């Protein structure tokens, strides 16, 4: 398996992947024109030819035959060209001693608090490929890349998780809130979000604080929850130390997780090591290894062993990285010690 930077030549396979993903992957819409434009920006981002406010990084996962089977990505600085909206869950207290009344009201505040954060996006791995830690590789490779090029990313990293919707794509949160201010169903709003109209729709939402008690019970129950299809992705970012701090998506109420970049486990524990080619041996564990190239980024997961400032890997691992012995690589264990007992989020 290999994670590499996406290229314009990946357009056809990414179009097919976007079509198969359906409505759950708004950042990878099944629009050839938009995907082609995004891939142009992606290539220029990896080449360092765009400002941080415009930088868009997309990675693809290749199988052993060189076929693209998954994606992940991140926006280097979200909301720097158009507003980035979230709801922050807060609390409003009403009280009267004379009347003997004291009430706490969970309240939604429309905010731009997460502006300029690096936003993880575009994580997709079809069901038939969800085994052997492929999900961890394509998800966590982003953190190793950010560790190497930290100056090009924000100090804060966020990820908006897909919220709850039913089998036909209806969102109770949208039906109870957004639909009243923008007369369309959730599927259409979701599509418009994917083709770049999220800020426009958000501008139509109410600016004043909104008591959650005005929403339906189903909508309240959806606040801060994650769609079952996104639970593996949630588990993987939680393994790295990202947490829910009360921000939710304005459309479906899905949880937004966040963490300082420097405190993400794969960033904090990554290290520069000299590549050594040999036999990792029985003491080997799974490592993420980055060739440290930006334009020709290549990241793999492989059995490896750290010894006296070197990382010992098998010859085929070095071949996938296109590196020779003695080259400095950035590496980190695929799974942190605190998560070593956890199963693969995508299952066996």
The domain spans of the chain are 2-86+112-265, 270-339
Rounded Cα distance, 60 and 76, in Å: 17
From the list 107, 55, 116, 60, the residue with the least C-alpha distance to 84 is 116
Task: Please say if the pLDDT value at position 196 is more than 70.
Answer: no
Instruction: Answer for the pair 67, 128: CB distance below 8 angstroms, yes or no.
Output: no
Region 40-52: mean pLDDT is: 96
DSSP single-letter state for residue 39: H
Identify the weakest region by mean pLDDT among 86-100, 146-160, 185-199, 240-254: 185-199
Given phi > 0 = left and psi -120 to 50 = alpha, else beta, which region is 168? alpha
CATH class of the domain defined by 2-86+112-265:
alpha beta
Query: Is pLDDT above 60 for 289?
Result: yes
| CATH 2.40.40.20, domain 270-339, yes or no | yes
Give the confidence band of 198 by pLDDT, cuts at 50, 70, 90.
low
Q: What is the pLDDT of residues 301-315, one digit of tens each?
A: 999 999 989 999 999
Picking from 80, 85, 84, the residue whose alpha carbon sits closest to that of residue 52 is: 80
Per the document, the length of the chain is 348
Nearest to 52 by CA among 131, 132, 155: 155
**Residue whose entry in the numeric block shows the structure tokens 């590496």:** 331
37, 41, 44, 46: CA torsion to nearest 10 = -130
Return the SS3 of 153.
Answer: coil
Q: In the annotation, is 105 catalytic?
A: no
The pLDDT tens digits of the residues spanning 158-188 come to 999 999 998 888 899 999 998 888 777 777 7
Comparing 202 with 288, which gets the higher pLDDT? Answer: 288
User: Does 326 have pLDDT greater than 60?
Assistant: yes
Global pTM reads 0.91
Q: What is the pLDDT of residue 346?
A: 58
Distance CA 139, CA 130 (A): 12
Q: Annotated catalytic residue: which of 65, 105, 129, 227?
A: 227
């Amino acid at each position: 398996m290999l994670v590499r930077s996406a290229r314009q030549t990946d357009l056809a396979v990414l179009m097919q992947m976007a079509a198969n993903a359906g409505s759950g992957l708004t950042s990878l819409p099944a629009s050839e024109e938009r995907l082609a434009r995004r891939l142009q920006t992606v290539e220029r981002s990896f080449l360092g030819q765009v400002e941080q406010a415009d930088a868009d990084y997309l990675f693809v996962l290749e199988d052993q035959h060189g076929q693209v089977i998954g994606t992940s990505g991140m926006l280097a600085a979200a909301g720097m060209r158009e507003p980035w909206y979230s709801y922050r869950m807060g609390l409003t207290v009403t009280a009267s001693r004379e009347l003997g009344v004291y009430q706490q009201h969970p309240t939604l505040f429309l905010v731009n608090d997460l502006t300029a954060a690096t936003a993880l996006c575009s994580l997709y791995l079809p069901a038939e490929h969800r085994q052997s830690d492929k999900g961890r590789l394509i998800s966590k490779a982003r953190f190793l890349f950010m560790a190497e090029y930290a100056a090009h990313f924000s100090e804060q990293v966020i990820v908006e998780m897909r919220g709850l919707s039913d089998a036909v794509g209806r969102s109770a949160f949208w039906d109870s809130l957004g639909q009243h201010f923008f007369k369309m169903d959730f599927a259409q709003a979701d599509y418009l979000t994917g083709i770049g109209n999220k800020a426009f729709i958000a501008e139509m939402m109410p600016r004043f604080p909104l008591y959650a008690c005005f929403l339906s019970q189903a909508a309240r129950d959806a606040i801060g929850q994650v769609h079952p299809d996104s639970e593996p992705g949630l588990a993987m970012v939680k393994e790295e130390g990202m947490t829910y701090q009360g921000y939710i998506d304005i459309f479906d109420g899905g949880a937004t997780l966040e963490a300082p970049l420097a405190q993400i486990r794969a960033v904090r524990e990554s290290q520069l090591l000299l590549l050594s080619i040999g036999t990792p041996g029985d003491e080997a564990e799974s490592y993420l290894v980055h060739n440290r190239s930006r334009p020709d980024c290549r990241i793999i997961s492989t059995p490896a062993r750290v010894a006296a400032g070197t990382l010992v890997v098998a010859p085929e691992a070095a071949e996938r990285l296109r590196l020779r012995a003695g080259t400095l690589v950035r590496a980190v264990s695929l799974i942190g010690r605190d998560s070593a007992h956890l199963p693969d989020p995508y299952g066996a």
